[in-house]
Amino acid sequence: MSAFLWITVVSLAAWCWLLLGQGFFWRTDVRLPGRRDLDAWPSVCVVVPARDEAAVLPVGLPSLLTQDYPGRAEVFLVDDGSTDGTGDLARELSRRHGGLPLTVGSPGEPPAGWTGKLWAVRYGIGLARARDPEYLLLTDADIAHAPDSLRELVAAADTGGFDVVSQMARLRVASLWERLVVPAFVYFFAQLYPFRWIGRPGSRTAAAAGGCVLLRADMAEKARIPEAIRHAVIDDVALARAVKRSGGRVWLGLADRVDSVRPYPRLRDLWRMVSRSAYAQLRHSPALLLGTVAGLALVYLVPPAAVAVGAAGGTGAVALVGAAAWAVMAGTYVPMLRYYRQPPWLAPLLPFTAFLYLLMTVDSAVQHYRGRGAAWKGRTYARPDAVADEG
Protein backbone atom coordinates (compact mmCIF):
# COMPACT_ATOMS: atom_id res chain seq x y z
CA MET A 1 0.00 0.00 0.00
CA SER A 2 1.23 3.50 -0.83
CA ALA A 3 1.88 6.05 1.91
CA PHE A 4 -0.96 8.23 0.67
CA LEU A 5 -3.37 5.30 0.74
CA TRP A 6 -2.38 4.66 4.37
CA ILE A 7 -3.01 8.29 5.21
CA THR A 8 -6.42 8.10 3.54
CA VAL A 9 -7.27 4.95 5.48
CA VAL A 10 -6.36 6.74 8.72
CA SER A 11 -8.64 9.63 7.69
CA LEU A 12 -11.52 7.21 7.08
CA ALA A 13 -10.87 5.54 10.44
CA ALA A 14 -10.93 8.96 12.12
CA TRP A 15 -14.31 9.68 10.57
CA CYS A 16 -15.69 6.32 11.68
CA TRP A 17 -14.60 7.17 15.21
CA LEU A 18 -16.08 10.67 15.02
CA LEU A 19 -19.33 9.21 13.72
CA LEU A 20 -19.77 6.81 16.63
CA GLY A 21 -17.36 7.75 19.41
CA GLN A 22 -17.56 11.52 19.87
CA GLY A 23 -20.86 11.78 21.68
CA PHE A 24 -22.89 11.75 18.44
CA PHE A 25 -21.90 15.41 18.17
CA TRP A 26 -23.37 15.66 14.69
CA ARG A 27 -26.93 15.07 15.82
CA THR A 28 -29.07 18.15 16.40
CA ASP A 29 -31.70 16.68 18.71
CA VAL A 30 -30.22 18.01 21.99
CA ARG A 31 -32.85 20.62 22.80
CA LEU A 32 -34.20 21.88 26.14
CA PRO A 33 -34.53 18.89 28.49
CA GLY A 34 -37.84 17.70 29.92
CA ARG A 35 -39.53 20.28 32.12
CA ARG A 36 -42.76 20.99 33.94
CA ASP A 37 -44.66 24.06 35.07
CA LEU A 38 -43.66 25.14 38.55
CA ASP A 39 -45.95 25.79 41.49
CA ALA A 40 -43.91 28.86 42.43
CA TRP A 41 -41.76 30.62 39.86
CA PRO A 42 -38.38 31.87 41.16
CA SER A 43 -37.23 35.45 40.66
CA VAL A 44 -34.90 36.19 37.74
CA CYS A 45 -32.65 39.11 36.84
CA VAL A 46 -31.59 39.44 33.20
CA VAL A 47 -28.14 40.94 32.61
CA VAL A 48 -27.38 42.33 29.15
CA PRO A 49 -23.85 43.65 28.50
CA ALA A 50 -24.05 46.12 25.62
CA ARG A 51 -21.40 48.19 23.89
CA ASP A 52 -22.42 50.06 20.73
CA GLU A 53 -25.42 47.84 20.11
CA ALA A 54 -27.91 50.39 18.74
CA ALA A 55 -28.17 48.48 15.45
CA VAL A 56 -29.46 45.25 17.04
CA LEU A 57 -31.04 46.51 20.26
CA PRO A 58 -34.48 47.25 18.74
CA VAL A 59 -34.90 43.52 18.11
CA GLY A 60 -33.14 41.98 21.10
CA LEU A 61 -34.23 44.17 24.01
CA PRO A 62 -38.02 44.19 23.33
CA SER A 63 -37.96 40.39 23.21
CA LEU A 64 -36.69 40.45 26.82
CA LEU A 65 -38.98 43.21 28.07
CA THR A 66 -42.05 41.38 26.81
CA GLN A 67 -41.24 37.99 28.28
CA ASP A 68 -44.28 36.04 29.45
CA TYR A 69 -42.86 35.00 32.81
CA PRO A 70 -45.13 34.17 35.77
CA GLY A 71 -42.60 35.14 38.43
CA ARG A 72 -40.74 38.33 39.27
CA ALA A 73 -38.23 39.36 36.60
CA GLU A 74 -36.22 42.47 35.82
CA VAL A 75 -33.78 43.49 33.08
CA PHE A 76 -30.41 45.18 33.70
CA LEU A 77 -28.73 46.56 30.59
CA VAL A 78 -25.11 47.54 31.10
CA ASP A 79 -24.14 50.31 28.70
CA ASP A 80 -20.42 49.71 28.52
CA GLY A 81 -19.10 53.01 27.20
CA SER A 82 -21.21 53.07 24.04
CA THR A 83 -20.81 55.94 21.59
CA ASP A 84 -23.91 55.21 19.52
CA GLY A 85 -26.61 56.03 22.07
CA THR A 86 -27.19 52.45 23.21
CA GLY A 87 -28.27 53.48 26.72
CA ASP A 88 -30.71 56.16 25.58
CA LEU A 89 -32.17 53.82 22.96
CA ALA A 90 -32.68 51.15 25.62
CA ARG A 91 -34.66 53.59 27.80
CA GLU A 92 -36.75 54.64 24.80
CA LEU A 93 -37.51 51.02 23.92
CA SER A 94 -38.57 50.40 27.51
CA ARG A 95 -40.96 53.36 27.41
CA ARG A 96 -42.34 52.21 24.08
CA HIS A 97 -42.81 48.50 24.84
CA GLY A 98 -43.34 48.46 28.60
CA GLY A 99 -43.16 44.99 30.11
CA LEU A 100 -40.44 44.02 32.56
CA PRO A 101 -38.72 46.79 34.54
CA LEU A 102 -35.49 48.01 32.95
CA THR A 103 -32.44 49.46 34.66
CA VAL A 104 -29.65 50.95 32.53
CA GLY A 105 -26.26 51.36 34.16
CA SER A 106 -22.68 52.07 33.13
CA PRO A 107 -19.65 50.50 34.82
CA GLY A 108 -16.93 52.84 33.60
CA GLU A 109 -13.63 51.67 32.17
CA PRO A 110 -12.50 48.22 33.32
CA PRO A 111 -9.43 47.95 35.54
CA ALA A 112 -6.38 46.02 34.42
CA GLY A 113 -7.01 42.31 34.13
CA TRP A 114 -10.69 42.57 33.25
CA THR A 115 -12.13 41.98 29.82
CA GLY A 116 -14.75 44.37 28.50
CA LYS A 117 -17.68 42.00 28.41
CA LEU A 118 -16.95 40.31 31.72
CA TRP A 119 -16.42 43.65 33.45
CA ALA A 120 -19.86 44.68 32.20
CA VAL A 121 -21.33 41.36 33.35
CA ARG A 122 -19.81 41.86 36.79
CA TYR A 123 -21.39 45.29 37.05
CA GLY A 124 -24.77 43.95 35.94
CA ILE A 125 -24.66 41.05 38.41
CA GLY A 126 -23.79 43.54 41.14
CA LEU A 127 -26.91 45.56 40.32
CA ALA A 128 -29.01 42.41 40.19
CA ARG A 129 -27.86 41.10 43.56
CA ALA A 130 -29.65 43.98 45.25
CA ARG A 131 -32.88 42.23 44.14
CA ASP A 132 -31.73 38.88 45.60
CA PRO A 133 -32.73 36.82 42.53
CA GLU A 134 -32.69 33.04 42.42
CA TYR A 135 -31.55 32.99 38.80
CA LEU A 136 -29.49 35.19 36.50
CA LEU A 137 -30.02 35.17 32.75
CA LEU A 138 -26.88 36.35 30.97
CA THR A 139 -27.74 37.21 27.41
CA ASP A 140 -26.41 39.43 24.64
CA ALA A 141 -28.03 42.47 23.07
CA ASP A 142 -28.25 40.79 19.67
CA ILE A 143 -30.24 37.80 20.95
CA ALA A 144 -33.97 37.67 20.21
CA HIS A 145 -35.92 35.48 22.63
CA ALA A 146 -39.31 33.92 22.03
CA PRO A 147 -41.96 35.23 24.49
CA ASP A 148 -41.78 32.07 26.62
CA SER A 149 -37.98 31.71 26.52
CA LEU A 150 -37.37 32.70 30.14
CA ARG A 151 -40.20 30.48 31.39
CA GLU A 152 -38.83 27.49 29.48
CA LEU A 153 -35.25 28.03 30.66
CA VAL A 154 -36.23 28.32 34.32
CA ALA A 155 -38.54 25.32 34.11
CA ALA A 156 -35.77 23.22 32.53
CA ALA A 157 -33.22 24.25 35.18
CA ASP A 158 -35.59 23.63 38.08
CA THR A 159 -36.96 20.35 36.76
CA GLY A 160 -33.55 18.93 35.87
CA GLY A 161 -31.63 20.32 38.83
CA PHE A 162 -29.18 22.18 36.59
CA ASP A 163 -27.08 25.12 37.77
CA VAL A 164 -26.55 26.30 34.21
CA VAL A 165 -28.95 25.91 31.32
CA SER A 166 -27.57 27.40 28.12
CA GLN A 167 -28.87 27.44 24.57
CA MET A 168 -26.78 27.88 21.46
CA ALA A 169 -28.73 30.64 19.73
CA ARG A 170 -29.48 30.07 16.07
CA LEU A 171 -27.08 32.42 14.29
CA ARG A 172 -28.11 34.46 11.29
CA VAL A 173 -27.66 32.72 7.94
CA ALA A 174 -28.48 35.03 5.04
CA SER A 175 -25.40 35.95 2.99
CA LEU A 176 -23.34 33.50 0.93
CA TRP A 177 -20.49 33.50 3.44
CA GLU A 178 -22.86 33.01 6.37
CA ARG A 179 -24.29 29.95 4.61
CA LEU A 180 -20.82 28.50 4.14
CA VAL A 181 -19.28 29.36 7.51
CA VAL A 182 -21.96 29.72 10.21
CA PRO A 183 -23.43 26.17 10.31
CA ALA A 184 -19.88 24.83 10.32
CA PHE A 185 -19.03 27.07 13.28
CA VAL A 186 -21.68 25.35 15.40
CA TYR A 187 -20.77 21.94 13.96
CA PHE A 188 -17.12 22.36 14.95
CA PHE A 189 -18.11 23.67 18.39
CA ALA A 190 -20.27 20.60 18.99
CA GLN A 191 -17.41 18.40 17.82
CA LEU A 192 -15.12 19.94 20.45
CA TYR A 193 -17.80 19.96 23.18
CA PRO A 194 -20.38 17.23 22.48
CA PHE A 195 -23.64 18.44 23.98
CA ARG A 196 -24.58 14.99 25.28
CA TRP A 197 -21.37 14.80 27.30
CA ILE A 198 -21.85 18.25 28.82
CA GLY A 199 -25.14 17.37 30.48
CA ARG A 200 -24.06 13.91 31.63
CA PRO A 201 -23.58 13.64 35.42
CA GLY A 202 -19.92 13.19 36.27
CA SER A 203 -18.69 14.28 32.84
CA ARG A 204 -15.75 16.70 32.78
CA THR A 205 -16.79 18.20 29.43
CA ALA A 206 -18.05 21.73 30.07
CA ALA A 207 -19.25 24.48 27.76
CA ALA A 208 -21.98 27.08 27.43
CA ALA A 209 -23.13 29.51 24.77
CA GLY A 210 -22.61 33.08 25.92
CA GLY A 211 -25.66 34.50 24.19
CA CYS A 212 -28.08 32.62 26.44
CA VAL A 213 -26.95 31.37 29.86
CA LEU A 214 -29.34 30.85 32.76
CA LEU A 215 -27.28 30.60 35.97
CA ARG A 216 -28.37 29.95 39.53
CA ALA A 217 -27.44 33.01 41.57
CA ASP A 218 -26.10 30.99 44.50
CA MET A 219 -23.88 29.01 42.13
CA ALA A 220 -22.60 32.27 40.64
CA GLU A 221 -21.41 33.25 44.12
CA LYS A 222 -20.00 29.81 44.87
CA ALA A 223 -18.08 29.64 41.58
CA ARG A 224 -17.08 33.34 41.85
CA ILE A 225 -18.62 34.27 38.52
CA PRO A 226 -17.35 36.36 36.85
CA GLU A 227 -14.32 37.21 39.04
CA ALA A 228 -12.84 33.72 38.65
CA ILE A 229 -12.89 33.97 34.85
CA ARG A 230 -12.10 37.66 34.38
CA HIS A 231 -9.10 36.87 32.10
CA ALA A 232 -11.01 34.37 29.95
CA VAL A 233 -10.95 34.74 26.20
CA ILE A 234 -13.78 32.26 25.63
CA ASP A 235 -15.84 33.37 28.59
CA ASP A 236 -18.85 31.09 28.11
CA VAL A 237 -16.74 27.92 28.17
CA ALA A 238 -14.78 29.27 31.14
CA LEU A 239 -18.04 29.95 33.01
CA ALA A 240 -19.25 26.38 32.49
CA ARG A 241 -15.91 24.98 33.64
CA ALA A 242 -15.95 27.13 36.77
CA VAL A 243 -19.45 25.90 37.61
CA LYS A 244 -18.49 22.26 37.11
CA ARG A 245 -15.36 22.70 39.23
CA SER A 246 -17.64 24.01 41.98
CA GLY A 247 -19.79 20.88 41.83
CA GLY A 248 -22.55 22.30 39.64
CA ARG A 249 -24.44 20.72 36.76
CA VAL A 250 -24.41 22.22 33.27
CA TRP A 251 -26.68 21.68 30.29
CA LEU A 252 -26.11 23.00 26.76
CA GLY A 253 -28.15 22.41 23.64
CA LEU A 254 -29.40 23.96 20.43
CA ALA A 255 -32.12 26.58 20.59
CA ASP A 256 -35.46 26.41 18.84
CA ARG A 257 -36.62 29.99 19.31
CA VAL A 258 -33.59 31.92 20.53
CA ASP A 259 -31.94 33.66 17.58
CA SER A 260 -28.97 35.94 17.04
CA VAL A 261 -29.75 38.86 14.74
CA ARG A 262 -26.14 40.03 14.43
CA PRO A 263 -25.15 40.04 10.74
CA TYR A 264 -21.84 38.73 9.44
CA PRO A 265 -22.37 39.46 5.74
CA ARG A 266 -18.74 39.38 4.60
CA LEU A 267 -15.99 36.81 4.97
CA ARG A 268 -13.94 39.48 6.76
CA ASP A 269 -16.61 39.75 9.49
CA LEU A 270 -16.71 36.01 10.04
CA TRP A 271 -12.91 35.82 9.90
CA ARG A 272 -12.64 38.30 12.77
CA MET A 273 -15.26 36.41 14.78
CA VAL A 274 -13.31 33.15 14.57
CA SER A 275 -9.71 34.39 14.65
CA ARG A 276 -10.40 36.52 17.75
CA SER A 277 -10.44 33.46 20.00
CA ALA A 278 -9.15 30.52 17.91
CA TYR A 279 -5.58 30.53 19.25
CA ALA A 280 -6.80 31.12 22.79
CA GLN A 281 -8.83 27.91 22.40
CA LEU A 282 -5.44 26.24 21.87
CA ARG A 283 -4.09 27.88 25.04
CA HIS A 284 -1.58 29.85 22.90
CA SER A 285 0.42 26.65 22.45
CA PRO A 286 2.52 26.23 19.27
CA ALA A 287 2.41 22.46 19.74
CA LEU A 288 -1.37 22.44 19.90
CA LEU A 289 -1.49 24.74 16.88
CA LEU A 290 0.65 22.35 14.84
CA GLY A 291 -1.44 19.40 16.00
CA THR A 292 -4.66 21.20 15.13
CA VAL A 293 -3.46 22.13 11.65
CA ALA A 294 -2.31 18.55 11.03
CA GLY A 295 -5.57 17.16 12.41
CA LEU A 296 -7.74 19.45 10.29
CA ALA A 297 -5.75 18.52 7.20
CA LEU A 298 -5.96 14.80 7.92
CA VAL A 299 -9.65 14.73 8.74
CA TYR A 300 -11.10 17.32 6.37
CA LEU A 301 -8.64 17.86 3.51
CA VAL A 302 -7.26 14.39 2.85
CA PRO A 303 -10.59 12.82 1.69
CA PRO A 304 -11.25 15.21 -1.24
CA ALA A 305 -7.53 15.25 -2.06
CA ALA A 306 -7.55 11.44 -2.18
CA VAL A 307 -10.50 11.44 -4.55
CA ALA A 308 -8.73 13.90 -6.86
CA VAL A 309 -5.35 12.14 -6.69
CA GLY A 310 -6.86 8.70 -7.09
CA ALA A 311 -8.96 9.74 -10.06
CA ALA A 312 -6.07 11.54 -11.75
CA GLY A 313 -3.58 8.74 -11.14
CA GLY A 314 -5.89 5.85 -11.79
CA THR A 315 -5.52 4.59 -8.21
CA GLY A 316 -8.98 3.26 -7.53
CA ALA A 317 -8.30 2.22 -3.94
CA VAL A 318 -7.17 5.72 -2.94
CA ALA A 319 -10.18 7.33 -4.61
CA LEU A 320 -12.59 4.81 -3.10
CA VAL A 321 -11.33 5.19 0.47
CA GLY A 322 -11.22 8.98 0.10
CA ALA A 323 -14.78 9.02 -1.25
CA ALA A 324 -15.96 6.91 1.69
CA ALA A 325 -14.37 9.29 4.20
CA TRP A 326 -15.81 12.28 2.35
CA ALA A 327 -19.26 10.69 2.35
CA VAL A 328 -19.17 10.08 6.12
CA MET A 329 -18.01 13.66 6.65
CA ALA A 330 -20.78 15.10 4.50
CA GLY A 331 -23.36 12.83 6.09
CA THR A 332 -22.53 14.06 9.59
CA TYR A 333 -22.87 17.66 8.40
CA VAL A 334 -26.34 17.30 6.87
CA PRO A 335 -28.26 17.47 10.20
CA MET A 336 -26.64 20.83 11.04
CA LEU A 337 -27.48 22.16 7.58
CA ARG A 338 -31.08 21.08 8.09
CA TYR A 339 -31.15 22.80 11.48
CA TYR A 340 -30.06 25.98 9.72
CA ARG A 341 -32.58 25.38 6.93
CA GLN A 342 -29.85 25.08 4.31
CA PRO A 343 -29.79 22.68 1.33
CA PRO A 344 -27.96 19.38 1.88
CA TRP A 345 -25.86 19.88 -1.27
CA LEU A 346 -23.71 22.25 0.79
CA ALA A 347 -22.46 19.28 2.84
CA PRO A 348 -19.71 18.20 0.38
CA LEU A 349 -18.28 21.74 0.61
CA LEU A 350 -17.31 21.21 4.27
CA PRO A 351 -13.62 20.59 3.37
CA PHE A 352 -13.47 24.06 1.83
CA THR A 353 -14.99 25.60 4.95
CA ALA A 354 -12.63 23.60 7.16
CA PHE A 355 -9.70 24.97 5.15
CA LEU A 356 -10.95 28.49 5.86
CA TYR A 357 -11.10 27.68 9.58
CA LEU A 358 -7.55 26.31 9.38
CA LEU A 359 -6.38 29.62 7.91
CA MET A 360 -8.35 31.59 10.51
CA THR A 361 -6.69 29.61 13.30
CA VAL A 362 -3.22 30.23 11.88
CA ASP A 363 -4.05 33.92 11.48
CA SER A 364 -5.17 34.02 15.11
CA ALA A 365 -1.75 32.73 16.14
CA VAL A 366 0.02 35.22 13.87
CA GLN A 367 -1.90 38.11 15.42
CA HIS A 368 -1.00 36.83 18.88
CA TYR A 369 2.73 36.75 18.16
CA ARG A 370 2.67 40.12 16.46
CA GLY A 371 1.57 41.49 19.81
CA ARG A 372 -1.32 43.47 18.46
CA GLY A 373 -3.39 42.69 21.52
CA ALA A 374 -7.04 41.76 21.52
CA ALA A 375 -10.18 43.81 21.28
CA TRP A 376 -13.79 43.79 22.37
CA LYS A 377 -16.13 46.21 20.61
CA GLY A 378 -13.29 48.54 19.67
CA ARG A 379 -11.58 48.43 23.09
CA THR A 380 -8.02 47.15 22.77
CA TYR A 381 -6.13 45.37 25.55
CA ALA A 382 -2.41 45.12 26.05
CA ARG A 383 -2.67 41.46 27.00
CA PRO A 384 -3.45 39.20 24.04
CA ASP A 385 -5.42 36.85 26.28
CA ALA A 386 -7.55 39.54 27.92
CA VAL A 387 -10.55 39.60 25.67
CA ALA A 388 -14.03 38.16 26.02
CA ASP A 389 -16.04 36.53 23.31
CA GLU A 390 -17.94 39.30 21.56
CA GLY A 391 -20.94 37.04 21.21
Query: pLDDT tens digits for 335-380?
Result: 999 999 999 999 999 999 999 999 999 999 998 888 765 555 665 5
Q: At what angle do helices 316-339 and 176-192 cross, to 10 degrees?
A: 100
Give dist(CA 197, CA 87) in Å, integer. 39
Nearest to 239 by CA among 218, 252, 253, 225: 225
* pLDDT of residue 126 exceeding 90: yes
In the chain, the percentage of residues whose pLDDT exceeds 70 is: 94
Give dist(CA 285, CA 308) in Å, integer. 33
Please provide the DSSP assignment of 132-145 as one string: --SEEEEE-TTEEE
* pLDDT of residue 232 exceeding 60: yes
Instruction: State how far the alpha carbon of 7 is from the alpha carbons of 212, 299, 308, in Å.
Output: 41, 10, 14
Q: How high is the mean pLDDT of the chain?
A: 93
**Averaged over 75-96, what is the pLDDT?**
96
Residue 381 confidence (pLDDT): 53
Q: Are 144 and 117 in contact (CB under 8 A)?
A: no
Q: Which helix (H) or strand (E) holds 253?
A: strand 250-260
* pLDDT of residue 116 exceeding 80: no
* pLDDT of residue 91 exceeding 70: yes
* pLDDT of residue 50 exceeding 80: yes
Residue 313 confidence (pLDDT): 84
The least confident of 53-57, 65-69, 108-112 is 108-112
The least confident of 65-69, 76-80, 385-389 is 385-389
pLDDT tens digit sequence for 133-161: 999 999 999 999 999 999 999 999 999 99
Residue 117 confidence (pLDDT): 86
Residue type, 383: R
Nearest to 169 by CA among 241, 251, 235, 257: 257
* pLDDT of residue 178 exceeding 70: yes
Instruction: State how far the alpha carbon of 48 is from the alpha carbons of 109, 121, 166, in Å.
Output: 17, 7, 15
Residue type, 351: P
Within 13 Å, how many C-alpha atoms sit on residue 59's CB side? 13
Residue 370 confidence (pLDDT): 84
pLDDT tens digit sequence for 210-228: 899 999 999 999 999 999 9
Nearest to 110 by CA among 17, 205, 231: 231
Q: Are 126 and 241 in contact (CB under 8 A)?
A: no
Q: Which helix (H) or strand (E) holds 111?
A: none
Residue 113 confidence (pLDDT): 77
Binned at pLDDT 50, 70 and 90, residue 389 comes out as very low
**Averaged over 229-245, what is the pLDDT?**
92
| Ranges for all domains in the chain classified under CATH 3.90.550.10 | 44-264
* pLDDT of residue 387 exceeding 70: no
* pLDDT of residue 251 exceeding 50: yes
**Averaged over 174-188, what is the pLDDT?**
97
Residue 377 confidence (pLDDT): 66
Residue 383 confidence (pLDDT): 45
Binned at pLDDT 50, 70 and 90, residue 390 comes out as very low
The least confident of 46-60, 67-81, 116-130, 176-190 is 116-130
Residues 326-343: b if buried by 16+ CB within 10 A, e if exposed: bebbbebbbbbbebbebe
Q: What CATH code would you report for 44-264? A: 3.90.550.10
